[in-house]
């Protein structure tokens, strides 16, 4: 079974703890592998290296890509006794320069304590976005996420698309996901002031849609 602990394209939607725990238990009981897709949620995005670490489970197989620069699949020995890991690639070139960049990414996240930053700035962003939700209760329907993987859901796709387009015109790049959600996924080095500037742009766009 292949699961995202925090859905990416599906709308930046964290799974419930009970759901993930149950899936893990059932996979062990019936002996099928649990594959956690960390392609969007991995490498520190949620404030831990991997999103499954928020759920207290260990997958049998996991995938990583995007921030890692190379597409990688890691499986427990049980499933792949002759391989210590496999690098394949659609999301990332997978050549030596990509691998060097991916390695550097890991070093920088460690050295600059970016997991902690994602956790702290993520909480701050959620708080501020929830204030916006209170202020615009007919436009924003939900704020959810973990760390710096945050979804801002609107009551209609029209509002979402307008905010996305107008924010872009103001120089703020966001991206839609799901049906009517805006993804807030800034770089892990972002600080509270920079988040504040981005949120000012979002509010400016909200007022006008």
Ligand X SMILES: Cc1ncc(COP(=O)(O)O)c(C=O)c1O
CA distance 72 to 35: 13
Stretch binding ligand X (CB under 6 A), from 4-12, 50-58, 148-156, 165-173? 4-12
- How far is it, in rounded angstroms, from Cα 59 to Cα 62? 7
Summarize the chain as % helix, strand, coil (round to 5).
45, 20, 40
Rounded Cα–Cα distance for residues 137 and 163 (Å): 15
Farthest-apart Cα atoms in the chain, separation = 58
Confirm or reject binding of residue 60 to ligand X (CB under 6 A): no
Give the binding range for ligand X (CB under 6 A) out of 11-19, 35-43, 48-56, 163-171.
35-43
Q: What is the separation, in whole angstroms, between the first and last Cα of the chain? A: 41
Which CB sits closer to ligand X, 9 or 112? Answer: 9
Ranges within 63-92 binding ligand X (CB under 6 A): 71, 90-91
Q: Which is nearer to ligand X, 8 or 147 (CB)?
A: 8
Phi/psi of residue 64, nearest 5 degrees: -145, 155
From the list 3-11, 76-84, 104-112, 163-171, the region that binds ligand X by CB under 6 A is 3-11
Q: Taking the CA of residue 174 as centre, how many other CA atoms within 13 Å lie in the half-sphere pointing to its CB?
A: 30
Per rule CB under 6 A, is residue 39 in the interface with ligand X? yes
Q: Which one of the spans 33-41, 72-80, 125-133, 182-190 is the region binding ligand X (CB under 6 A)?
A: 33-41
Judge whether 207 and 178 are in contact, CB under 8 Å.
no
Q: Does 185 bind ligand X (CB under 6 A)?
A: no
Our finding on whether 36 is near ligand X (CB under 6 A) is: no
State yes or no: residue 4 binds ligand X (CB under 6 A): yes
Closest separation in Å from C-beta 68 to ligand X: 12
40 touching ligand X, by CB under 6 A? yes
Joined together, the tokens standing for residue 29 give 């009981």
CA 50, CA 32: separation in Å to the nearest integer? 21
> Which one of residues 3, 6, 8, 195 is an interface residue with ligand X (CB under 6 A)?
8
List residues binding ligand X (CB under 6 A).
4, 8-9, 37, 39-40, 71, 90-91
């Amino acid at each position: 079974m292949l699961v995202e602990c925090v859905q990416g394209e599906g709308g930046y939607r964290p799974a419930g703890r009970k759901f993930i725990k149950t899936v893990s238990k059932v996979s062990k009981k019936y002996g099928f592998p649990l594959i956690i897709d960390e392609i969007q949620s991995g490498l520190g995005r949620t404030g831990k290296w991997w999103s499954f670490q928020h759920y207290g489970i260990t997958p049998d197989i996991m995938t990583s890509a995007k921030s890692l620069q190379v597409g990688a699949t890691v499986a427990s020995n049980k499933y792949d006794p002759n391989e210590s890991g496999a690098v394949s690639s659609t999301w990332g070139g997978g050549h030596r320069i990509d691998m060097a960049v991916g390695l550097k990414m890991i070093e920088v996240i460690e050295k600059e304590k970016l997991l902690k930053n994602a956790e702290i700035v993520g909480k701050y962003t959620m708080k501020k976005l929830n204030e916006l939700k209170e202020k615009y209760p007919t436009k924003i329907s939900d704020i959810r996420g973990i760390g710096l993987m945050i979804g801002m859901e609107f009551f209609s796709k029209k509002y979402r698309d307008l905010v996305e387009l107008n924010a872009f015109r103001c120089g703020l790049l966001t991206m839609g996901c799901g049906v009517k959600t805006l993804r807030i996924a800034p770089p892990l080095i972002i600080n509270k002031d920079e988040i504040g500037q981005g949120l000012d742009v979002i509010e400016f766009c909200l007022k006008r849609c």
